A and B are shown apart, each in its own frame.
Chain A
Amino acid sequence: MTRYDLTRLPLVEPLLRNRWPQFVTTSIALGGFVFAIIAGMVGTPVGSRNFGIVSVWIGWWALLMLIAVPFFGRGWCSICPLPAPGEWLQRGAVLGPSTGTGRRPGLGLRWPNRLRNIWLQNGAFAVIALLSVVVLTTPSVTAVVLAALLVLAVVMSLIFERRAFCRYLCPVGGFIGLYSQLAPIELRVKDPAVCACHTQKTCYTGNADGYGCPWQVFPGGLVKNTFCGLCVECLRTCPHDNIAINLRDFGADLSNPAGRRLDEAFKAFIMLGSAMAYSAVMLGPWGALKSAAYTVGSAAWVIYAAAFLVFIFVVLPGLFFTAVVVGRRLSQNLAENSTTKTRRPEGKRQAFIALSYALVPLGLAAWIAFSLSFVFANLSYLSAALSDPMGWGWNLFGTARVNWTPYLTQFVPILQTIVLVGGLIWAGATAQRIAEETSKMRSLPVIVFCLIVTLVLLGLLVG
């Protein structure tokens, strides 16, 4: 596995050390975020003409799922506007590090140990997913959700230390973290021995050059991207210049057995299941399903919500668990009939958790394929919404009357197929690699599971 440290490039390190570029980018994003909230509240209720809906669910989503997450992992988190106001209040400075000694408003409590996992993020995502058809199409609801997330992030920053919201609650951060393991970029220490000898651990505690890791991560112990927000504070605070931003192979984290957890495993199921459910609800031909998902609070919606939750939390993991058990039995049978020694298989739970990481590339592929289906079809709304963001009859850039034009309609199904098949191959290879840790044979049913999921997605998305 080859790695190239980008900080070796002449301009990269100074650019990252300087607080201004990141600060300005975040502030611009915050401006767009606040504007999206305002547009959702006072602009036209027509989603396709409202900046709030179009910028967030078409523009930002396209940027996130098609570029940011696959190529930059948590790159978005480094400039995300959501935690910015809370973090500024918490720090008592917007640029920082704070030079003053005045009281800061936050309580700075530690996040409870029992909640140091992503189950809350899983729940938060599931809740939003249940309401998503309304959220994605109704500007006022989008505005309320965005505003609620902003307020929540501020409140969390004032109660808890560092970025507790991002780490433990943000519904978006959860899946970005999961899929950031696939990204060809990572922040790691150059020499762990240097960190071991550095007693101050300024990367975690902070110093005059920067803050202690907002994500509560000790860079010296980083083995995967999941919880590194790429804020590069550690690059600023490390006195030994021991932080590297590496270019690496795609999916490098998946080969590392360290840090595999059940909450993350379930995140993989939630994301894969949601992509399948969304494809059926939003792109499928079933009007009754669409209506049920839209009429939040109705009996039909309750049934839809129950079915959705059962699917992502029970059916999909249940089927996968069955595949894992079958694979385990297969490998045991083979081992009994073989003269060569194989390693002792891990327990079912461990096998389930480990192999579920094979779903990470498939899940990202599913989300990319799903996003492709509506992003290019609806991208033309962006030019109209930029010109008349509120639907008030403005024409700032002369594009307010641009008619809806779907782009790349002929190529999207081809791209989706390539992405999904690529995701399947990647998932299969990952499953094999994980299985090799004990016995290669046990990956077979998991690969069959991935194949079935891929075929279902191809049917839903490509037809």
Chain B
Amino acid sequence: MTAKGAERAARLTAIVLALGLPVAALIARWAGWGAGRDSVIEIHGALAEAGGWAPADLTATVGEPLRLRLTSDDVMHGFAVGQSDWPAVDVAPGEVTETTITFNRPGKYVFYCTRWCGVNHWRMRGTIEVAGPTTSPAIESPPLYVTLGLDLDAPHPADVIPERRPSADRGAEPGATIPVEFSTGEYFRAHSPAEVWRALRASPASRELADAEVWDVVAFVWRSNSTPESLVEGKRIYAANCAACHGETGAGNGVMAASLASQLTAEFGHGATKPADFTDPAKMLGASPALLQGKIIRGGMGTGMPYWGPILTESQTWAVLSYLWTFVMD
């Protein structure tokens, strides 16, 4: 080979070796190999302060599969769609997770992060606008707290608290017949444990019972309005979504509580609002299920408590509520 020929061959070699790999990779990407296919949406997850989900607003059509490729740009996230049964998937940093969702009714869905990724974890949310034929307009009844006209932000301390921890087991055999109206779901949801205690205390049926025994009856009423399954479900949801701030034991001392306080101070300028302490009888026994349900649905409005309305189904909300009472009653 002549010197000129060798030089030409070398130049070609240099171009192929130096640029071949990067160019091939970019072409593969552009051609949609592995990623970027038209029908697949690639979603990047990042801490909320770094942008959260991108894109955060998706569209879909009823009955048509929505194919998603999920990846995290920083830490471990999770992906789930609120008010739906699609199982949550983990979104690991730098890895791609594929999932496909098919919606069977139109509406606006919220997708959210299921991993405690940071202090603004709860802000990692996006929406999926699902279009499609509406067979019959869904009639959504307003939440109970609206129907009852409850002020969610008003203080609700219990005016009476038990001397000992109420026990549903003891309350199951009170030695007195409990009027049936106290056990109905409607009554239970609209009244706080303290209100129920006062009503029971005033009832002739429980005249023979000591104050502590009446509290045991209240605990029994609360247990009667839950099931073992709902308690298990409530515990699971609480651990996944609430314990970060409210703590595993419900004492308001979750791992995010401290950083949440400084975050609120920086963001809203007001002093830190501590996550609610579910082990405080004065607070818990003064709140009705409807009131707490409202707080969960609507959120804390500037307190750092996220709104869970678009995410938890009604039964899930009640399951969480059932579990919350176990922090003050056995």
Contact = CB atoms under 8 A, between A and B. Distances in A.
Interface of A: 20, 23-24, 27-28, 30-32, 34-35, 37-39, 42, 44-46, 48-50, 81, 88, 93-96, 98-99, 388-394, 400-401
Interface stretch (B15-23, B233-241, B281-289, B297-305): B15-23
B14 A48 contact: no
B132 to A, nearest CB: 29
Given A24-B17, A81-B18, A98-B7, 9 more contacts: A27-B13, A30-B18, A34-B21, A38-B26, A49-B93, A94-B14, A390-B25, A390-B29, A391-B94
B148 interface: no
B29 A45 contact: no
A392 B95 contact: no
A28 B21 CA distance: 10
Q: Among A50, A388, A391, A401, which residue has the most Cβ atoms of chain B within 10 A?
A: A391
Contact of A46 (B10, B69, B73): B73
B10 A31 contact: no
Contacts of B93: 44, 46, 48-49
A284 to B, nearest CB: 22
Nearest to A208: B3
Given A38-B26, A88-B14, A99-B7, A391 B21 contact: no
B25 A401 contact: no
Interface string B20-64: 111001101100011100000000000000000000000000000
B6 interface: yes
Contacts, number: 95
B167 interface: no
A237 to B, nearest CB: 16
29 contacts: A24-B13, A24-B17, A30-B17, A31-B18, A31-B20, A31-B21, A31-B22, A34-B22, A38-B22, A42-B26, A44-B71, A45-B73, A46-B73, A46-B93, A49-B95, A81-B18, A94-B7, A94-B14, A95-B7, A99-B4, A391-B71, A391-B96, A392-B35, A392-B96, A393-B35, A393-B96, A394-B33, A394-B34, A401-B95
A81 B18 CA distance: 9
A38 B71 contact: no
A204 B96 CA distance: 54
Contacts of A38: 22, 25-26
Nearest to B96: A393
B35 A93 contact: no
User: Shortest 9 CB-CB distances between A and B: which pairs?
Assistant: A49-B94, A393-B96, A46-B94, A95-B10, A27-B17, A46-B93, A30-B18, A391-B94, A38-B22
B270 interface: no
Contacts of B21: 31-32, 34-35
B186 interface: no
A88 B11 CA distance: 10
Contact of A34 (B10, B18, B73): B18
B71 A99 contact: no
B72 interface: yes
Contacts of B20: 31
Contacts of A48: 93-94
A45 B74 contact: yes
Contacts of B29: 42, 390, 392
A31 B35 contact: no
A294 to B, nearest CB: 13
A28 B19 CA distance: 9
Most chain A CB inside 10 Å of its own CB: which residue of B6, B18, B21, B33: B18
Contact of A393 (B6, B19, B71): B71
Contacts of A394: 28, 33-35
A163 B230 CA distance: 74
B90 to A, nearest CB: 12
Nearest to B98: A393
Point out which of A49, A93, A393 has the most chain B C-beta atoms below 10 A from its C-beta.
A393
A44 B17 contact: no
Contact of B95 (A32, A37, A81, A391): A391
